Homo-oligomer: A and B are copies of this chain.
Amino acid sequence: MGTTTTAPTRPLRADAKRNYDAIVRVASEAFSANGTQTSLDDIACKAGVGPGTLYRHFPNRDCLIAAALHDSLGELERASEHLAASDDPGAALETWLFQLATHLRTYGGLPDSVAQAFRTESSPLRTSCVPLRTITATLLERAQQAGAVRADASAGDVFALISSLAWAADQRGDSDDDLRRMLALITTGLR
């Protein structure tokens, strides 16, 4: 289920792989510290490579974000398999929505990056995140079949709602508890 960000037809040369790994590692740290809008030249510099090397491996910011997220995304997807097998689809969905929102907060600015990626056909970040939408759709459907969630809620809307929740939490610098409270507000409604 792990998605590859690039399609390496042949293995990278030793020095190339070394640089690739260094860039991804540094990028992940930099994104964590300063958000997805961190200067890419800065990342290249800190990784000990020239900008040309960074842009050869990652033609644009989305590629680098996707690569930096690769591992944690895989974990999230694996965890979701467990939820899909739960015998309480309503609770499973709620757990998933929280995990999803939390994941979208891995880096500052990530909700924006992901939303923009979904508007760009060829974005590798979009490719990486499509499974998240699919999982949401699956778990939502199960919850609806179990009668735990209203039937007229669409997966697209729910995914957008959770993305926007992550965005708000990101903007306000919310804690996990804040996020949970806001999520509860959505699931149970204002009324």
The interface of chain A, by Cβ under 8 A from chain B, is 112, 115-116, 118-119, 148-150, 153, 157-158, 160-161, 163-165, 167-168, 171-172, 181-182, 185-191
Asked if A149 meets B182 with Cβ closer than 8 Å, knowing A115-B171, A168-B164, the reply is no
Asked if A187 meets B189 with Cβ closer than 8 Å, knowing A115-B171, A161-B168, A167-B164, the reply is yes
Asked if A190 meets B187 with Cβ closer than 8 Å, knowing A163-B168, A164-B164, A168-B161, the reply is yes
B171/A185 in contact, CB under 8 A:
no
B116/A150 in contact, CB under 8 A:
no
Interface of A, secondary structure class, is helix
B148/A191 in contact, CB under 8 A:
yes
Contacts of A158 in B (CB 8 A): 190
Asked if A150 meets B187 with Cβ closer than 8 Å, knowing A160-B172, A161-B182, the reply is no
B190/A191 in contact, CB under 8 A:
no
Oligomer: number of copies: 2
A191/B189 in contact, CB under 8 A:
yes
A190/B112 in contact, CB under 8 A:
no
Going nearest first, the 5 A-B pairs with the smallest beta carbon separation are A189-B189, A164-B164, A164-B168, A115-B171, A160-B168
**Least Cβ distance of A175 to chain B in Å?**
13
Q: For residue A162, which residue of chain B has the nearest CB? A: B168
Contacts of A182 in B (CB 8 A): 157, 160-161
Q: How far is the CA of A163 from the CA of B165 in the complex (A)?
A: 10
Asked if A150 meets B186 with Cβ closer than 8 Å, knowing A161-B168, A167-B164, the reply is no
Asked if A188 meets B191 with Cβ closer than 8 Å, knowing A160-B172, A168-B164, the reply is yes
**Least Cβ distance of A139 to chain B in Å?**
12
Contacts of A187 in B (CB 8 A): 189-191
**Least Cβ distance of A103 to chain B in Å?**
17
